[in-house]
Amino acid sequence: MAQYTCLIVEDSPMMRQLIIFALGRIRNLKVVEADDGVDGLKKLAGGRFDLVITDINMPIMDGLKLVKRIRTDAVHKDVPIMIITTEGAAEDRQRALQLGANEYVTKPIQAPQVISKVKELLKIQ
Protein backbone atom coordinates (compact mmCIF):
# COMPACT_ATOMS: atom_id res chain seq x y z
CA MET A 1 0.00 0.00 0.00
CA ALA A 2 1.39 3.39 -1.04
CA GLN A 3 2.24 5.84 1.70
CA TYR A 4 1.73 9.50 0.92
CA THR A 5 3.23 12.42 2.77
CA CYS A 6 1.58 15.81 2.77
CA LEU A 7 3.05 19.09 4.02
CA ILE A 8 0.58 21.60 5.43
CA VAL A 9 1.91 25.16 5.57
CA GLU A 10 -0.52 27.31 7.55
CA ASP A 11 0.07 29.90 10.26
CA SER A 12 -3.29 29.34 11.96
CA PRO A 13 -3.08 26.31 14.28
CA MET A 14 -6.87 26.16 14.18
CA MET A 15 -6.92 25.84 10.41
CA ARG A 16 -4.09 23.30 10.45
CA GLN A 17 -6.03 21.22 12.94
CA LEU A 18 -9.15 21.38 10.80
CA ILE A 19 -7.28 20.39 7.61
CA ILE A 20 -5.56 17.52 9.44
CA PHE A 21 -8.94 16.41 10.73
CA ALA A 22 -10.30 16.33 7.18
CA LEU A 23 -7.23 14.57 5.73
CA GLY A 24 -7.51 11.96 8.49
CA ARG A 25 -10.21 10.38 6.35
CA ILE A 26 -7.68 9.53 3.64
CA ARG A 27 -5.87 6.26 4.27
CA ASN A 28 -2.08 6.07 4.23
CA LEU A 29 -1.64 9.82 4.30
CA LYS A 30 0.97 11.18 6.67
CA VAL A 31 0.86 14.88 7.50
CA VAL A 32 3.75 17.20 8.38
CA GLU A 33 2.97 20.73 9.64
CA ALA A 34 4.75 24.03 9.05
CA ASP A 35 3.92 27.52 10.41
CA ASP A 36 4.98 29.61 7.42
CA GLY A 37 6.81 29.52 4.08
CA VAL A 38 10.31 29.40 5.56
CA ASP A 39 9.36 26.61 7.95
CA GLY A 40 7.71 24.86 4.99
CA LEU A 41 10.92 24.99 2.93
CA LYS A 42 12.88 23.60 5.88
CA LYS A 43 10.47 20.70 6.22
CA LEU A 44 10.58 20.10 2.46
CA ALA A 45 14.38 19.94 2.53
CA GLY A 46 14.19 17.27 5.19
CA GLY A 47 12.13 14.76 3.26
CA ARG A 48 10.14 13.74 0.24
CA PHE A 49 6.58 14.97 -0.11
CA ASP A 50 3.72 13.96 -2.39
CA LEU A 51 1.60 17.04 -1.80
CA VAL A 52 1.91 20.55 -0.37
CA ILE A 53 -1.10 22.42 1.01
CA THR A 54 -0.40 26.04 1.76
CA ASP A 55 -2.13 29.21 2.86
CA ILE A 56 -1.27 32.49 1.11
CA ASN A 57 -1.27 35.10 3.88
CA MET A 58 1.42 34.05 6.34
CA PRO A 59 4.18 35.86 8.22
CA ILE A 60 7.88 35.60 7.22
CA MET A 61 7.22 34.00 3.81
CA ASP A 62 3.82 33.94 2.15
CA GLY A 63 2.29 31.04 0.22
CA LEU A 64 2.90 32.50 -3.25
CA LYS A 65 6.64 32.88 -2.58
CA LEU A 66 6.65 29.34 -1.29
CA VAL A 67 4.99 28.09 -4.51
CA LYS A 68 7.66 29.89 -6.56
CA ARG A 69 10.47 28.38 -4.49
CA ILE A 70 9.01 24.87 -4.71
CA ARG A 71 8.72 25.11 -8.51
CA THR A 72 12.45 25.83 -8.73
CA ASP A 73 13.42 23.12 -6.24
CA ALA A 74 15.23 20.18 -7.86
CA VAL A 75 13.54 17.54 -5.72
CA HIS A 76 10.04 18.94 -5.30
CA LYS A 77 9.52 20.97 -8.48
CA ASP A 78 6.80 18.57 -9.66
CA VAL A 79 4.99 18.09 -6.34
CA PRO A 80 1.29 19.04 -6.54
CA ILE A 81 0.41 22.20 -4.61
CA MET A 82 -2.99 23.09 -3.23
CA ILE A 83 -3.66 26.58 -1.94
CA ILE A 84 -6.24 27.10 0.80
CA THR A 85 -6.82 30.79 1.37
CA THR A 86 -9.26 33.51 2.35
CA GLU A 87 -8.40 35.36 -0.88
CA GLY A 88 -11.41 34.74 -3.08
CA ALA A 89 -10.76 37.21 -5.92
CA ALA A 90 -10.40 35.76 -9.42
CA GLU A 91 -7.09 37.53 -9.99
CA ASP A 92 -5.61 35.98 -6.82
CA ARG A 93 -6.62 32.55 -8.05
CA GLN A 94 -5.20 33.21 -11.50
CA ARG A 95 -1.91 34.49 -10.09
CA ALA A 96 -1.51 31.44 -7.84
CA LEU A 97 -2.25 29.03 -10.68
CA GLN A 98 0.15 30.91 -12.97
CA LEU A 99 2.89 30.58 -10.37
CA GLY A 100 2.41 26.81 -10.41
CA ALA A 101 -0.29 25.94 -7.90
CA ASN A 102 -2.46 23.02 -9.00
CA GLU A 103 -5.58 23.70 -6.94
CA TYR A 104 -7.03 26.80 -5.34
CA VAL A 105 -9.57 26.41 -2.55
CA THR A 106 -11.10 29.32 -0.66
CA LYS A 107 -11.95 29.44 3.04
CA PRO A 108 -14.15 28.57 4.79
CA ILE A 109 -13.31 25.07 3.62
CA GLN A 110 -15.65 22.14 3.23
CA ALA A 111 -13.95 18.90 4.18
CA PRO A 112 -15.45 16.74 1.36
CA GLN A 113 -14.24 19.25 -1.23
CA VAL A 114 -10.71 19.28 0.20
CA ILE A 115 -10.63 15.48 0.47
CA SER A 116 -11.78 15.05 -3.10
CA LYS A 117 -9.19 17.50 -4.47
CA VAL A 118 -6.38 15.94 -2.43
CA LYS A 119 -7.32 12.49 -3.74
CA GLU A 120 -7.35 13.87 -7.25
CA LEU A 121 -3.89 15.38 -6.85
CA LEU A 122 -2.50 12.20 -5.31
CA LYS A 123 -4.29 10.10 -7.95
CA ILE A 124 -6.02 8.06 -5.26
CA GLN A 125 -9.16 6.23 -6.42
Partner 1 sequence: MKRRSTDEDTFDFGARSEEFLETFFRKGAEFTEQLLQEAQKMRERIQELSEENVQLRSQLASDDAVKDLLAKIQALEEEKLKIRRSVDNAKREFQSYEDRYLEMEQELDQMANLYVASSQLHATMEAPQVLSVIEQMLMQFVGAGSVGIFLRGYSDDKTPYLRPVHAFHCEEICGTTIEWNVGPLGEAAANGVQFIMEPEKAVDESLPVACIPVMFGGDAIGVIAIYSLLEQKKKFVNVDYELFRLLAEHAASAIIGSGLYARTESVAAALDCFNSL
Binding residues vs partner 1 (CB under 8 A)? 12-15, 17-18, 21-22, 86, 88-89, 106-108, 110-112
Q: How far is the CB of 33 from partner 1 (least distance, A)?
A: 14
Q: How far is the CB of 87 from partner 1 (least distance, A)?
A: 8
Write a three-state SS string for 63-81: HHHHHHHHHCCCCCCCCCE
Residue with Cβ nearer partner 1 (21 or 94): 21
**110: which residues sit within 8 A by CB, 6+ positions away?**
none
Q: How far is the CB of 94 from partner 1 (least distance, A)?
A: 14
**36 and 60 in contact (C-beta within 8 Å)?**
yes
Residue with Cβ nearer partner 1 (7 or 19): 19
Strands 51-54 and 103-106: unpaired
